[in-house]
A and B are shown apart, each in its own frame.
Chain A
């Protein structure tokens, strides 16, 4: 069973701080990695994807990938109360042809 693990949280940060969300995965051959944001009662929304080792930045969001450690993270700079949501990590395991495996998500709360 190919697994994706996330700390369920809740992770609580003050407004303006950096929120760090972490994800580990079991399939070493995984090719691509995705971060989704899900507000309560809503559907997941794609924030970022990353394929290569290193950092990828998009506005206040930075995704970090370390394939050797099988670890992917999402940093949110200058966190806002509107960032309060559950963040889902998803992985495209080797040979799965984009049938993504999702983690259970981390609940982030940004306090004003």
Chain B
């Protein structure tokens, strides 16, 4: 049982480049989330998806887009990367009916130069 799988684990981008972070879960959870974690700032919600076919903005959505491709997959896209987007990105999933606690992926460490 893999849980939540994120790819890639590490990435270096140049300013202005684009990339997509992939996330997939095999726990049949309805809800999926993208957070970023920065030193001194904690975990901040970028986007979330309450169920397949729905997405909504979180606390820090600027510069990002998301796609809930199906129930398993939730991707995060940076259209034009900026140094301020250097961070560790975590995907998570949950099922409110099962307590609502998140299962996190292993994270993507992104550096924008």
Contact = CB atoms under 8 A, between A and B. Distances in A.
A100 B107 CA distance: 18
Contacts of A42: 106-107
B101 interface: yes
A77 interface: no
A99 B58 contact: yes
Interface string B8-26: 0000000000000000000
A70 B104 CA distance: 26
Given A43-B90, A99-B48, A88 B43 contact: yes
B31 A98 contact: yes
A44 B90 contact: yes
A97 B100 CA distance: 9
A99 B33 contact: yes
Interface stretch (A9-17, A18-26, A101-109): A101-109
* Most B CB within 10 A of own CB, among A42, A43, A44, A45: A43
A111 interface: no
A44 B94 contact: no
A85 B23 CA distance: 25
Interface in A53-112: 88, 90, 92, 97-100, 102-105
Interface string A27-50: 000001010100000111110010
A21 B102 CA distance: 20
Contacts of B90: 43-44
A80 B33 CA distance: 32
B42 interface: yes
23 contacts: A34-B100, A34-B102, A42-B106, A43-B90, A43-B105, A43-B106, A43-B107, A44-B43, A44-B90, A44-B102, A46-B101, A46-B102, A46-B103, A49-B101, A88-B42, A88-B43, A92-B100, A97-B50, A97-B96, A98-B94, A99-B45, A100-B102, A102-B42
Interface of B: 31, 33, 35, 40-45, 48, 50, 58, 90, 94, 96, 99-107
